[in-house]
Structure 1
Amino acid sequence: MPHSFGLRARTRYLFSRGFKQHGLLKTTTFLRTFKLGDYVDVKATGNVHKGMPHKFYHGRTGRVWNVTPRSVGVIINKRVGPRIIAKKIHVRIEHVKPSNSMAAHLKRIEENKKVVADAKKNNTWVSTRRTPAAPKAGFFVNPRDTEVQTIAPLRYELLL
Protein backbone atom coordinates (compact mmCIF):
# COMPACT_ATOMS: atom_id res chain seq x y z
CA MET A 1 0.00 0.00 0.00
CA PRO A 2 1.43 3.43 -0.89
CA HIS A 3 2.30 5.95 1.78
CA SER A 4 1.26 9.11 -0.07
CA PHE A 5 -2.31 10.07 -0.84
CA GLY A 6 -1.88 13.52 -2.36
CA LEU A 7 -3.80 15.14 -5.18
CA ARG A 8 -1.40 13.83 -7.84
CA ALA A 9 -0.24 10.69 -6.09
CA ARG A 10 0.47 7.68 -8.35
CA THR A 11 0.40 9.72 -11.57
CA ARG A 12 4.06 9.28 -12.56
CA TYR A 13 3.24 7.65 -15.89
CA LEU A 14 -0.38 8.84 -16.19
CA PHE A 15 0.50 12.51 -16.71
CA SER A 16 3.89 11.99 -18.40
CA ARG A 17 4.38 13.28 -21.93
CA GLY A 18 4.87 10.85 -24.78
CA PHE A 19 8.05 10.17 -26.72
CA LYS A 20 9.14 13.34 -28.58
CA GLN A 21 6.13 15.20 -27.16
CA HIS A 22 8.04 17.31 -24.62
CA GLY A 23 8.47 21.07 -24.89
CA LEU A 24 6.10 23.84 -25.88
CA LEU A 25 2.54 23.03 -26.86
CA LYS A 26 1.28 23.58 -30.39
CA THR A 27 -0.47 26.85 -31.15
CA THR A 28 -3.64 25.03 -32.24
CA THR A 29 -4.18 24.05 -28.61
CA PHE A 30 -4.82 27.69 -27.72
CA LEU A 31 -6.67 28.69 -30.91
CA ARG A 32 -9.45 26.10 -30.60
CA THR A 33 -12.91 27.42 -29.85
CA PHE A 34 -15.23 25.51 -27.57
CA LYS A 35 -18.95 26.19 -27.51
CA LEU A 36 -21.60 25.21 -25.01
CA GLY A 37 -22.79 21.67 -25.57
CA ASP A 38 -19.60 20.48 -27.31
CA TYR A 39 -18.33 17.04 -26.35
CA VAL A 40 -14.71 17.09 -25.19
CA ASP A 41 -12.15 14.54 -24.01
CA VAL A 42 -10.28 15.44 -20.83
CA LYS A 43 -6.63 14.50 -21.28
CA ALA A 44 -4.22 16.04 -18.81
CA THR A 45 -1.07 17.55 -20.34
CA GLY A 46 1.79 16.95 -17.91
CA ASN A 47 3.89 20.02 -18.66
CA VAL A 48 1.06 22.46 -17.80
CA HIS A 49 0.39 22.23 -14.07
CA LYS A 50 -2.23 24.96 -13.86
CA GLY A 51 -5.85 23.95 -14.31
CA MET A 52 -4.99 20.27 -14.39
CA PRO A 53 -7.90 17.88 -13.74
CA HIS A 54 -7.86 15.21 -11.06
CA LYS A 55 -6.54 11.85 -12.24
CA PHE A 56 -10.07 10.38 -12.13
CA TYR A 57 -11.19 12.64 -14.99
CA HIS A 58 -8.17 11.86 -17.20
CA GLY A 59 -9.44 10.10 -20.33
CA ARG A 60 -13.12 10.86 -19.67
CA THR A 61 -15.55 12.46 -22.08
CA GLY A 62 -17.88 15.25 -21.00
CA ARG A 63 -20.01 18.12 -22.25
CA VAL A 64 -19.03 21.80 -22.09
CA TRP A 65 -21.34 23.81 -19.83
CA ASN A 66 -19.22 26.94 -19.28
CA VAL A 67 -16.51 28.78 -21.23
CA THR A 68 -14.07 31.19 -19.56
CA PRO A 69 -11.07 32.99 -21.09
CA ARG A 70 -8.56 30.22 -20.35
CA SER A 71 -10.66 27.23 -19.37
CA VAL A 72 -13.86 25.35 -20.00
CA GLY A 73 -16.38 23.92 -17.59
CA VAL A 74 -17.13 20.26 -18.31
CA ILE A 75 -19.91 18.02 -16.98
CA ILE A 76 -18.63 14.47 -16.48
CA ASN A 77 -20.59 11.53 -15.11
CA LYS A 78 -18.97 9.86 -12.11
CA ARG A 79 -20.07 6.59 -10.57
CA VAL A 80 -20.28 6.92 -6.78
CA GLY A 81 -21.54 3.70 -5.24
CA PRO A 82 -24.77 2.75 -6.99
CA ARG A 83 -25.40 6.28 -8.31
CA ILE A 84 -24.07 8.19 -11.30
CA ILE A 85 -23.49 11.83 -10.39
CA ALA A 86 -22.95 14.61 -12.94
CA LYS A 87 -19.80 16.41 -11.76
CA LYS A 88 -18.99 19.94 -12.92
CA ILE A 89 -15.28 20.71 -13.23
CA HIS A 90 -13.26 23.53 -14.76
CA VAL A 91 -10.24 22.51 -16.81
CA ARG A 92 -7.75 24.66 -18.70
CA ILE A 93 -7.90 24.33 -22.49
CA GLU A 94 -4.46 22.67 -22.56
CA HIS A 95 -6.02 19.60 -20.94
CA VAL A 96 -9.07 19.35 -23.22
CA LYS A 97 -9.56 18.31 -26.85
CA PRO A 98 -12.67 17.97 -29.03
CA SER A 99 -14.21 14.51 -28.88
CA ASN A 100 -15.00 12.35 -31.90
CA SER A 101 -17.34 10.11 -29.92
CA MET A 102 -20.46 11.61 -31.52
CA ALA A 103 -19.12 11.64 -35.10
CA ALA A 104 -20.57 8.27 -36.12
CA HIS A 105 -23.91 9.09 -34.47
CA LEU A 106 -24.21 12.46 -36.24
CA LYS A 107 -23.23 10.87 -39.55
CA ARG A 108 -25.95 8.25 -39.10
CA ILE A 109 -28.52 10.97 -38.34
CA GLU A 110 -27.65 12.81 -41.58
CA GLU A 111 -27.86 9.59 -43.61
CA ASN A 112 -31.23 8.74 -42.02
CA LYS A 113 -32.57 12.21 -42.87
CA LYS A 114 -31.63 11.71 -46.53
CA VAL A 115 -33.18 8.22 -46.62
CA VAL A 116 -36.42 9.46 -45.04
CA ALA A 117 -36.60 12.43 -47.43
CA ASP A 118 -36.18 10.12 -50.44
CA ALA A 119 -38.83 7.77 -49.05
CA LYS A 120 -41.28 10.67 -48.63
CA LYS A 121 -40.70 11.71 -52.25
CA ASN A 122 -41.47 8.16 -53.43
CA ASN A 123 -44.39 7.90 -50.98
CA THR A 124 -42.90 4.82 -49.31
CA TRP A 125 -41.85 3.84 -45.80
CA VAL A 126 -38.33 2.91 -44.82
CA SER A 127 -36.90 1.74 -41.49
CA THR A 128 -34.03 3.81 -40.08
CA ARG A 129 -33.18 1.28 -37.39
CA ARG A 130 -29.87 -0.50 -37.41
CA THR A 131 -30.22 -4.23 -38.00
CA PRO A 132 -27.68 -6.86 -36.99
CA ALA A 133 -25.80 -8.64 -39.74
CA ALA A 134 -27.70 -11.65 -41.06
CA PRO A 135 -26.07 -15.09 -40.99
CA LYS A 136 -24.36 -16.26 -44.16
CA ALA A 137 -26.57 -18.05 -46.65
CA GLY A 138 -26.40 -21.85 -46.57
CA PHE A 139 -25.09 -23.91 -49.47
CA PHE A 140 -24.41 -27.54 -50.36
CA VAL A 141 -20.95 -28.93 -51.04
CA ASN A 142 -20.82 -31.52 -53.80
CA PRO A 143 -18.28 -34.18 -52.74
CA ARG A 144 -17.69 -35.26 -56.35
CA ASP A 145 -16.47 -31.80 -57.36
CA THR A 146 -14.09 -31.31 -54.41
CA GLU A 147 -10.99 -33.20 -53.35
CA VAL A 148 -10.59 -34.34 -49.76
CA GLN A 149 -7.40 -33.06 -48.14
CA THR A 150 -5.86 -34.73 -45.11
CA ILE A 151 -4.07 -32.19 -42.94
CA ALA A 152 -1.56 -33.25 -40.29
CA PRO A 153 1.10 -31.37 -38.31
CA LEU A 154 4.70 -31.47 -39.51
CA ARG A 155 6.97 -34.00 -37.86
CA TYR A 156 9.36 -32.56 -35.28
CA GLU A 157 13.00 -32.40 -36.35
CA LEU A 158 15.85 -31.18 -34.19
CA LEU A 159 17.64 -28.38 -36.06
CA LEU A 160 21.16 -27.78 -34.72
Structure 2
Amino acid sequence: MRHSHGYRSRGRKIFRITPRLRGYRGLSRLMQEYNIGDTVVIDVNPTFIETAPHRRYQGKVGKIIERRGRAYVIEIRVGNKIKKIITTSEHIIPFKQAGS
Protein backbone atom coordinates (compact mmCIF):
# COMPACT_ATOMS: atom_id res chain seq x y z
CA MET A 1 0.00 0.00 0.00
CA ARG A 2 1.23 3.50 -0.81
CA HIS A 3 2.33 5.90 1.89
CA SER A 4 0.02 8.83 2.53
CA HIS A 5 1.54 12.26 1.95
CA GLY A 6 -1.14 14.29 3.71
CA TYR A 7 -0.78 17.72 5.29
CA ARG A 8 0.06 16.28 8.73
CA SER A 9 2.10 13.26 7.61
CA ARG A 10 5.25 12.45 9.62
CA GLY A 11 4.29 14.89 12.35
CA ARG A 12 3.72 12.48 15.23
CA LYS A 13 6.87 13.42 17.11
CA ILE A 14 6.60 17.16 16.41
CA PHE A 15 2.93 17.48 17.37
CA ARG A 16 3.07 15.25 20.44
CA ILE A 17 2.16 16.80 23.79
CA THR A 18 3.84 15.28 26.81
CA PRO A 19 1.39 14.37 29.60
CA ARG A 20 2.82 17.03 31.91
CA LEU A 21 2.06 19.80 29.41
CA ARG A 22 -1.44 18.73 28.38
CA GLY A 23 -4.35 21.16 28.39
CA TYR A 24 -4.29 24.87 27.67
CA ARG A 25 -1.01 26.69 27.79
CA GLY A 26 -0.66 29.44 30.38
CA LEU A 27 -2.89 32.48 30.55
CA SER A 28 0.05 34.81 30.01
CA ARG A 29 0.68 33.14 26.66
CA LEU A 30 -2.96 33.46 25.59
CA MET A 31 -3.15 37.12 26.63
CA GLN A 32 0.12 38.10 24.94
CA GLU A 33 -0.34 41.01 22.53
CA TYR A 34 1.83 41.25 19.43
CA ASN A 35 2.53 44.37 17.38
CA ILE A 36 3.62 44.79 13.79
CA GLY A 37 7.39 44.40 13.63
CA ASP A 38 7.68 42.02 16.60
CA THR A 39 9.95 39.01 16.17
CA VAL A 40 8.26 35.71 17.04
CA VAL A 41 8.96 31.97 17.00
CA ILE A 42 6.45 29.56 15.48
CA ASP A 43 5.62 26.91 18.07
CA VAL A 44 2.71 24.80 16.80
CA ASN A 45 0.13 23.90 19.44
CA PRO A 46 -1.54 20.67 18.20
CA THR A 47 -4.66 21.39 20.28
CA PHE A 48 -5.72 24.04 17.72
CA ILE A 49 -5.02 22.24 14.46
CA GLU A 50 -7.26 24.33 12.16
CA THR A 51 -5.08 27.41 12.47
CA ALA A 52 -1.75 25.58 12.75
CA PRO A 53 0.95 26.27 10.16
CA HIS A 54 2.67 23.42 8.33
CA ARG A 55 5.15 21.36 10.36
CA ARG A 56 8.09 22.57 8.25
CA TYR A 57 7.79 25.98 9.95
CA GLN A 58 7.99 24.59 13.50
CA GLY A 59 10.68 26.51 15.41
CA LYS A 60 11.27 29.11 12.68
CA VAL A 61 11.76 32.76 13.59
CA GLY A 62 9.88 35.46 11.71
CA LYS A 63 8.56 38.99 11.89
CA ILE A 64 4.90 40.03 12.20
CA ILE A 65 3.96 42.18 9.21
CA GLU A 66 0.16 42.32 9.40
CA ARG A 67 -2.90 41.52 11.49
CA ARG A 68 -5.90 39.75 9.90
CA GLY A 69 -8.82 39.48 12.29
CA ARG A 70 -7.64 37.22 15.11
CA ALA A 71 -4.68 35.99 13.07
CA TYR A 72 -1.22 37.37 12.33
CA VAL A 73 0.75 37.33 9.08
CA ILE A 74 4.35 36.31 9.77
CA GLU A 75 7.18 36.75 7.29
CA ILE A 76 9.73 33.92 7.36
CA ARG A 77 12.86 33.49 5.29
CA VAL A 78 13.26 29.93 3.93
CA GLY A 79 16.42 29.69 1.86
CA ASN A 80 16.32 32.58 -0.62
CA LYS A 81 12.54 32.92 -0.48
CA ILE A 82 10.33 34.91 1.85
CA LYS A 83 7.21 33.03 2.97
CA LYS A 84 4.12 34.54 4.57
CA ILE A 85 2.47 32.37 7.22
CA ILE A 86 -1.02 33.19 8.50
CA THR A 87 -1.65 31.82 11.99
CA THR A 88 -3.22 32.71 15.33
CA SER A 89 -1.51 33.62 18.59
CA GLU A 90 -1.80 30.04 19.92
CA HIS A 91 1.03 29.04 17.59
CA ILE A 92 3.52 31.85 18.21
CA ILE A 93 5.70 32.92 21.13
CA PRO A 94 7.87 36.04 21.51
CA PHE A 95 11.47 35.66 20.39
CA LYS A 96 14.01 36.17 23.17
CA GLN A 97 17.50 36.98 21.97
CA ALA A 98 20.50 35.57 23.81
CA GLY A 99 21.75 37.89 26.52
CA SER A 100 18.50 39.81 26.98
Q: TM-score if structure 2 supplies the norm length?
A: 0.89
Counterpart of 1:89 in 2: which secondary structure?
strand
Counterpart of 1:20 in 2: which secondary structure?
helix
Instruction: Measure, in 1, the Cα distance between the counterparts of 2:75 and 2:33.
Output: 17
Q: Rg bigger for which structure? A: 1
Identity %: 25
Q: Please list, as runs of the form range in 1=range in 2, the aligned pairs for 1:10-159 lying within 5 A after superposition.
A: 10-79=10-79, 84-101=80-97, 104=99
Greater strand fraction, Structure 1 or Structure 2: 2
AA at the equivalent of 1:58: Q
AA at the equivalent of 2:6: G
**Which segments of 5 or more consecutive residues in structure 1 lack a partner in the other structure?**
108-160
Counterpart of 1:65 in 2: which secondary structure?
strand
The C-alpha deviation readout for 1:71-128, integer Å capped at 9, x for no partner, is: 211000112xxxx101011111100000013x54xx6xxxxxxxxxxxxxxxxxxxxx
AA at the equivalent of 2:59: G
Structure 1 residues 97 and 34: CA distance shift in structure 2, 3 A:
same
Instruction: Measure, in 2, the Cα distance between the counterparts of 1:5 and 1:94.
Output: 25
Which structure is richer in relative contact order (CA contacts within 8 A, separation 6 or more)?
A: 2
Instruction: Measure, in 1, the Cα distance between the counterparts of 2:51 and 2:66.
Output: 15
Counterpart of 1:34 in 2: which secondary structure?
coil
Do the aligned residues in 2 keep the contact of 1:50 with 1:92 (CA within 8 Å)? Answer: no
**Which segments of 5 or more consecutive residues in structure 2 lack a partner in the other structure?**
none
Greater helix fraction, Structure 1 or Structure 2: 1
Q: CA RMSD in A?
A: 1.6
How big is the shift at 1:18?
2.6
